[in-house]
Amino acid sequence: MPFSTTIDNQILDHFMGKSTWSATGDARWIGLSSTTPTKSGSNVTEPSGGGYARIQLLASEMNAASGSATENNADQTFPQATADWVSGADLTNMVMYDASTAGNFLAFKALDVAKPVLDGDTAKFATGDMDFSIGGS
């Protein structure tokens, strides 16, 4: 999962001794987007209406990091859609913020399977489906 430019800069500043870790508090909220975000947090198209709401991801619902990676240890379920989200367009990315609405953009990741959430559907990330990692070459 690519972290936002904000998080990248905070990690580097902390690592280089330029700042203490400030991050964005303890709150993590997961949302969905029908467009591919940029690292700066632009180009996010979250559903509005139809019962859509970001879901809070608690620290207790994540495994401890191992091998520079972690994953969710509990299902993460969105509210049931009361209308088609984003006019039935495919939702393509998971997004993370530090607030239930607005807030600071923290990270994003393409979904393994892009699909719409239609009236009556309940979107969910099953246990182990939300992978977060640091690394790469």
User: CB 77: neighbour CB atoms within 10 A?
Assistant: 12
Contact present, 49 and 83 (Cβ < 8 Å): yes
User: CB 49: neighbour CB atoms within 10 A?
Assistant: 11
The pLDDT value given to residue 16: 83
Task: Could you list the beta-strand ranges (E) of the chain.
Answer: 29-33, 55-56, 69-71, 76-77, 91-97, 105-115, 124-125, 131-133
The pLDDT value given to residue 80: 98
Rounded Cα–Cα distance for residues 113 and 110 (Å): 8
Which of 72, 40, 80, 39 has the alpha carbon at shortest distance from 56? 72
Residues in the chain where the model's pLDDT stays below 50: 137
The pLDDT value given to residue 43: 98
CB within 8 Å of 104: residues ≥ 6 apart: 4, 6, 24, 41, 97, 98
**Length of the chain, please?**
137
The pLDDT value given to residue 137: 41
pTM for the whole structure: 0.89
What is the tens place of the pLDDT at every residue in 101-137? 999 999 999 999 999 999 999 999 999 999 988 875 4
